Amino acid sequence: MAQTPISSDLGSSMTEQLASTARETIDRVTPKVNRAEQELRVATTKAADSAKLLQEHAVEAAKGKLRAVRSYAESNPLTIAGIAFAAGALLSALIRR
């Protein structure tokens, strides 16, 4: 069946209305989306900076603890040897079971 001009005009008019509504919605939402994107970028940058700072603090803390352990080991070599022997004996006993 062939469409009548009236139904064709109605379909075209409806399509134009829907397209117009879609364009208006996009135009209305675009600034909000841009603002949200900018806020997300700022938050991401802050989080990355915080993570980097935490990493640097953790590395420094680990280095400090390593220096303390190394200093203790150099000051007390017999104690360290005893601890190593006890750990080895314990590990050996656990492995044999």
Residue 2 backbone phi and psi in degrees, to 5: -85, 145
In a domain, 79, yes or no: yes
Asked whether residue 1 is domain-assigned, the answer is: no
Half-sphere exposure of 49 (CA within 13 A, CB side): 6
According to the model, what pLDDT value does residue 12 have?
82
Token couple for 81: 């040897």
Q: Quick: pLDDT tens for 48-90.
A: 999 999 999 999 999 999 999 999 999 999 999 999 999 999 9
For the stretch 7-51, pLDDT in tens is: 566 668 889 999 999 999 999 999 999 999 999 999 999 999 999
Residue 2 lies inside a defined structural domain of this protein: no
Q: How many domains does the chain have?
A: 1
Domain annotation covers residue 54: yes
Q: Which DSSP letter does residue 30 get?
A: H
**20 part of a folded domain:** yes
Q: Give the pLDDT of residue 75.
A: 96
Q: Domain range spanning residue 80?
A: 7-96
The answer to whether position 84 is within a domain reads yes
Distance (Å, whole) CA 89 – CA 2: 95
pLDDT attached to residue 8: 61
Measure Cα distances from 96 to 3, 61, 82 in Å. 90, 37, 21
